[in-house]
């Protein structure tokens, strides 16, 4: 039994693999349901953090990662789709759809079941001359599948997200009064790209990131300290009555910052995030986005090393953080 754990750990890590290949979603084959239409969608604007991909699929028995993409740039593909499914009518109001978030990915639970997930944030603007009036927004979250292989559901999830956008325009906008809304938004404001605050702020805030959104927004929510003993550094977080303690698995910590450097949690060990260029972070560590691996060894590893801050590590995988989904993309060396 003593040899079983290391063997299992190495075997599961061998499944991690590197990012290779692409899954291209065929949007035009999808249907779009709408009743007596009350609008035209005449423009699609993409202000996502990362406009190069939609997310990550897991393919095959080894859950090999593949980038999910469209056949072209998102605005052009979406606009072609809407024009084909909802031909423009001259007497209907014209709407611009802004996509501020759209992520597709897969999650694996502790018993091996998978779920294909989609998260989309849409905003809608009525064209009025050179300006735009804000009509509202629709946030769409959905999980499809829960089988052994859910990669096939990404097409359906994307269609479902776009159906949700159409449903909002059809059912949630008061078109009788919409034309009287003030056109306060300029085209420059409408098309301004989103940038993570962790990239634009002059320095990271000190504390613990509970999730990827905290990290992206440079908004750590839990006070933290670093304990150094015999050359080993361990993360402590604020607990009850303001006392600091070691991190536990139930704390579900994504990472932390000491105000100068940033770290990401992998199996209860924290690896330093290094900024690369103007818009990316990378780290050397292990891939805890592999939920099957995490389920098998994560708790045991966390219990053994709970909160250890790793020194320089160059032997294991080299990963880049995906801005839309928070997934970890392994780089080819």
Each residue's pLDDT expressed in tens, for the chain with a length of 333 residues: 444 333 322 222 333 334 557 889 988 777 888 888 999 999 999 999 888 889 888 877 777 778 899 999 999 999 999 999 999 999 999 999 999 999 998 876 655 567 888 999 999 999 999 999 999 999 999 988 766 678 888 999 999 999 999 999 999 999 999 999 999 999 999 999 888 888 888 899 999 999 888 999 999 999 988 888 887 888 888 888 888 988 877 788 888 999 998 988 877 788 888 887 666 777 777 665 554 444 444 444 444 446 777 765 544 566 777 777 777 766 654
Strand pairing class (40-46; 269-276) = unpaired
Question: Is the whole-model pTM more than 0.85?
Answer: no
pLDDT value, residue 42:
97
Contact 237, 243 (CB under 8 A): no
Report the alpha-carbon distance of residue 218 to residue 207 in Å, rounded.
10
User: Up-side HSE of residue 301: CA atoms within 13 Å toward CB?
Assistant: 19
pLDDT value, residue 289:
52
Of the candidates 116, 220, 197, which has an alpha carbon nearest to the alpha carbon of residue 161?
116
Report the alpha-carbon distance of residue 172 to residue 68 in Å, rounded.
31
What is the secondary structure of 142-158 as a DSSP string? Answer: EEEEEES--GGGHHHHH
Report the alpha-carbon distance of residue 290 to residue 276 in Å, rounded.
24
Contacts of 132 (CB under 8 A, 6+ apart): 96, 125, 126, 183, 185, 186, 187, 190
Count of other CB atoms within 10 angstroms of residue 10: 9
Report the alpha-carbon distance of residue 190 to residue 39 in Å, rounded.
19
Domain 17-190 sits in CATH 1.10.246: no
Report the alpha-carbon distance of residue 267 to residue 295 in Å, rounded.
10
**Maximum distance among all alpha carbons in the chain?**
75
pLDDT value, residue 85:
93
Q: How far apart are the first and last CA of the chain?
A: 35
Long-range contacts of 219-224 (CB under 8 A, 24+ apart): 220/256, 220/257, 222/253, 224/256, 224/258
Report the alpha-carbon distance of residue 124 to residue 41 in Å, rounded.
9
Residues of the chain with CATH 3.40.50: 17-190
pLDDT value, residue 177:
95
Of the candidates 3, 7, 100, which has an alpha carbon nearest to the alpha carbon of residue 50?
100
Report the alpha-carbon distance of residue 99 to residue 119 in Å, rounded.
11
Contact 188, 209 (CB under 8 A): no
Report residue 282 as tokens: 């990378």
Contacts of 14 (CB under 8 A, 6+ apart): none
pLDDT value, residue 293:
45
List C-alpha distances in Å: 183 to 99, 127, 131: 19, 8, 5
Report residue 288 as tokens: 């805890």
Q: What is the DSSP letter of 198?
A: H
What is the secondary structure of 282-324 as a DSSP string? Answer: EEES--TT-HHHIIIIIHHHHHHHTTEEP----SS-EEEE-TT
List C-alpha distances in Å: 56 to 64, 72, 177, 263: 10, 17, 41, 23
């Amino acid at each position: 039994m003593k040899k079983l754990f290391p063997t299992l750990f190495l075997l599961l890590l061998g499944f991690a693999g590197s990012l290779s290949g692409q899954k291209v979603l065929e949007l035009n084959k999808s249907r779009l349901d709408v009743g007596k239409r009350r609008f035209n969608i005449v423009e699609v604007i993409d202000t996502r953090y990362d406009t190069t991909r939609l997310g990550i699929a897991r393919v095959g028995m080894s859950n090999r990662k593949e980038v999910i993409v469209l056949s072209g740039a998102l605005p052009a593909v979406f606009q072609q789709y809407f024009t084909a499914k909802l031909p423009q009518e001259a007497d209907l109001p014209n709407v611009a759809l802004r996509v501020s978030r759209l992520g597709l990915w897969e999650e694996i639970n502790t018993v091996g079941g998978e779920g294909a997930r989609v998260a989309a944030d849409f905003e809608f603007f009525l064209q009025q001359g050179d300006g735009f009036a804000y009509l509202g927004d629709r946030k769409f979250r959905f999980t499809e599948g829960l089988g052994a292989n859910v990669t096939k559901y990404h097409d359906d999830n994307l269609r479902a997200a776009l159906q949700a956008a159409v449903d909002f325009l059809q059912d949630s906008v008061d078109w009788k009064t919409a034309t009287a809304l003030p056109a306060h938004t300029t085209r420059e404001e409408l098309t301004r790209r989103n940038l993570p605050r962790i990239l634009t702020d002059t320095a990271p805030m000190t504390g613990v990131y509970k999730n990827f959104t905290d990290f992206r927004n440079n908004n750590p929510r839990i006070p933290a300290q670093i304990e150094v003993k015999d050359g080993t550094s361990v993360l402590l977080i604020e607990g009850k009555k303001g006392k600091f303690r070691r991190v536990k698995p139930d704390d579900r910590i994504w990472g932390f910052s000491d105000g100068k450097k940033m770290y990401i949690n992998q199996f209860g060990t924290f690896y330093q995030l290094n900024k690369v260029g103007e818009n990316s972070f990378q780290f050397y560590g292990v891939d805890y986005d592999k939920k099957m691996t995490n389920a098998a060894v994560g708790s045991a590893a966390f219990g053994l090393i709970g909160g250890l801050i790793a020194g320089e590590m160059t032997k294991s995988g080299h990963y880049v953080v995906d801005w839309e989904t928070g997934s970890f993309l392994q780089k080819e060396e």
